[in-house]
Amino acid sequence: MTTWSASADRDGCEWGNTFRMKRAFVFPGQGSQMVGMGSALAAAFAPARRLFEEVDEALSQNLSRLMFEGPDEDLTLTENAQPALMAASLAVIRVLETEGGLTLARDVAFVAGHSLGEYSALAAARAVTVGDAARLLKVRGQAMQRAVPVGEGAMAALLGLDVERANAVAAEAAHDEIDPDEVCTVANDNAPGQVVVSGHHRAVERAITIARARGARRAITLPVSAPFHSPLMAPAAEVMKKALGQVALCPPVVPLVANVSATATRDPSRIKCGLVQQVTAMVRWRESILFLKAAGVEEVFEIGAGRVLAGLVKRVDPNISARSIGMPADVEAVMKGF
């Protein structure tokens, strides 16, 4: 097992004495939701049921019923999908802790989350309460949806281009002679050859055409309702700055690898700043996984719904072990290792 010497982040926040770095927990973002998520876990484990009840109570909403039964069109609404994905992830954590003997500070070196998954990661690491995380994500989802009128924004996946080439495509698409002030920017650097751009609908359509001409294997519009992680989300960032200012944030029990910096921190002020910035900034997921690798992480566990992040981890570095934990069989298998 790789060792990791004591060090500090830029604000002097010590990570502790010598760690034996091996395992990281990562938490999925929007797009991983599906009707039925969490239902098998709730049926199998009482701690998971209590977690879902806790989230329902915090939101004054029967979110768990929506998660378990749908309809899909309501679950995929941003204001529902974001707290729902957090609940699915935290239910897994709750079972691992109460029935599997998991102690995050002892058993996990780092946490990270893709976009909204950062809130899941912070709740798992005791930096924020489950109730506060759920309420923040409800506000975040509503603010992101309202920031840009429906139909004005879009996102597209550019497959087969690295982030440097995707940046060049986005820059060209944003400076059209007819629409010189439109926005198109890289929103997600997910893995080698898997980059997402975001911005005004027409600019994103131009980016698709340019990317195909420049050798992209595929360039396709994504089924999302807003241009997330672009400057067009600035109104939502202001909402989140205010909302986060009203919530107590403690140092997480293990360092968070933040989307905006792709480095680790336990400093609450830096974390809050990053959560505001990530609304408009690029998700640096590929770099985050490279950071984990350099820090000695050998195993990455995707906690919650779907298997997207485990696949991305393997694309970034096939030598890192990556697996998803979301169903009862997954939970029971991994509990033997803690």
Q: How far apart are CA 182 and CA 83, in angstroms?
A: 31
The neighbour count for residue 54, using CB atoms within 10 Å, is 19
Q: How far apart are CA 45 and CA 69, in angstroms?
A: 18
CB-based burial label for 268 (10 Å; 0-12, 13-18, 19+): middle
The neighbour count for residue 60, using CB atoms within 10 Å, is 9
Report the amino acid identity of residue 48. Answer: A
Active-site residue among 89, 120, 229, 324? 229
Q: Is 229 a catalytic residue?
A: yes
Give the contacts of 318 (CB within 8 A, at least 6 positions apart). Answer: none
Radius of gyration for the alpha carbons in the chain, expressed in angstroms and rounded: 19
Task: Supply the DSSP string of 239-275, one letter for each residue.
Answer: HHHHHHHTS--PPPSS-EE-TTTSSEE--HHHHHHHH
The neighbour count for residue 289, using CB atoms within 10 Å, is 28
Active-site residue among 89, 115, 120, 324? 115
Q: How far apart are CA 197 and CA 227, in angstroms?
A: 9
For 153, list phi and psi in degrees, rounded to 5.
-115, 165
Q: List, by residue number, the catalytic residues.
A: 115, 229
